[in-house]
Amino acid sequence: MKKILFSLLFLCCISISSIQAQSTSVVPDNRLFECYDSCYVHQMLTNNPLLVAWYNYYLDNSYYVASLKASKPVTGEDIHTIRINDDLAKGKAIYFKEKVYNKEKLNVLKYYFPTQGENFTTYIWKEAGVALVFLPRNKIAVGYQKYIKDNNLKK
């Protein structure tokens, strides 16, 4: 009896893994685990892989970087006025305190960066010598739709 139950459990696990592998080609960016519990990320991956794809896309494509050493001065809001998301801050007021810009490590989902629907929003990061320029939400949405199409992700 134990042998049969073990075999059934093993087959179920293989079937579930196979179904998950077929249903999505989305791999969560490691930065998602800085913001969300791993169980939640895996649940999103199973139930709504396009949401994971959205977060992955947003992490690298919601903004671009402009040098503060450009001939024309860059204006915007001081990045140090930006707070960590409430879920991560757990009720405390924790502000942006990173010192060095690294595209692979910067996690814009950790922070509450207010953006606009149709206008660019700029945040000045003096220590890093850059400005983060967030695209308008409508441009991000259009880019995401193209990303889905280009990567053959199913809706």
Reported in sequence order, the residue ranges of 37-138 that DSSP labels E, i.e. its strands, are: 63-67, 77-78, 121-125, 130-134
Query: What is the helix (H) or strand (E) element at residue 24, kind and residue range?
Result: none
Q: Output the tens digit of pLDDT for each of the chain's 155 residues.
A: 434 434 433 334 434 444 444 445 899 999 999 999 999 999 999 999 999 999 999 999 999 999 999 788 899 999 999 999 998 999 899 999 999 999 999 999 999 999 999 999 999 999 999 999 999 999 999 999 999 999 999 86
Write down the pTM of the prediction: 0.81
Helices marked H in the chain: 2-23, 32-35, 38-47, 49-61, 86-89, 137-150
